[in-house]
């Protein structure tokens, strides 16, 4: 049983460029989450999917961010016109229907550095 995988693990880009990250959830997990984590802070919720439907987006998420989950399997997170403030670790998590709540399992993250 493989865990959540994310690619690339590291991305360095210049300000103004577009970047795309990929997340492959645990097989058969129907929910997929994106979080952002900066140094010294806990993960901050960005958005989540149930199957292929994007059910919620954080109000903090700028229009430059977009996420997709075609066919309810892997997901991509795109950041357009990157800014230095976008530098962070982008974490993906997945979960399946729990009895009362879900356990979210995190991937290793993609560390983005915007120069």
Our finding on whether 45 is near another protein (CB under 8 A) is yes
Q: How far is CA 113 from CA 6, 36, 40, 74, 79, in A?
A: 16, 13, 16, 23, 12
Select the span of 19-27, 31-39, 65-73, 79-87 touching another protein (CB under 8 A): 31-39
Residue 112, interface with another protein (CB under 8 A)? no
CA distances to 13, 42, 87, 94, 109 from 81, in Å: 10, 25, 12, 27, 21
Are β-strands 88-95 and 105-106 bridged in parallel, bridged antiparallel, or unpaired? antiparallel
If one asks whether residue 41 binds another protein (CB under 8 A), the answer comes out as: yes
106 belongs to the binding site for another protein (CB under 8 A): yes
Does position 75 interact with another protein (CB under 8 A)? The reply is: no
Question: What are the residues binding another protein (CB under 8 A)?
Answer: 4, 31, 33, 35, 40-45, 48, 56, 91, 95, 100-109
């Amino acid at each position: 049983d493989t865990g959540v995988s994310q690619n690339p693990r590291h991305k360095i880009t210049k300000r103004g460029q577009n970047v795309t990250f990929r997340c492959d959830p645990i097989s058969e997990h129907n929910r997929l989450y994106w979080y952002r984590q900066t140094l010294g802070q806990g993960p901050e919720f960005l958005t989540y999917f149930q199957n292929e439907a994007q059910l919620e987006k954080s109000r903090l998420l700028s229009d430059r961010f977009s996420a997709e989950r075609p066919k309810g399997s892997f997901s991509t997170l795109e950041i357009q016109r990157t800014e230095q403030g976008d530098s962070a670790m982008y974490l993906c998590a997945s979960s399946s229907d729990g009895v009362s709540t879900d356990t979210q399992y995190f991937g290793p993250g993609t560390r983005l550095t915007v120069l």
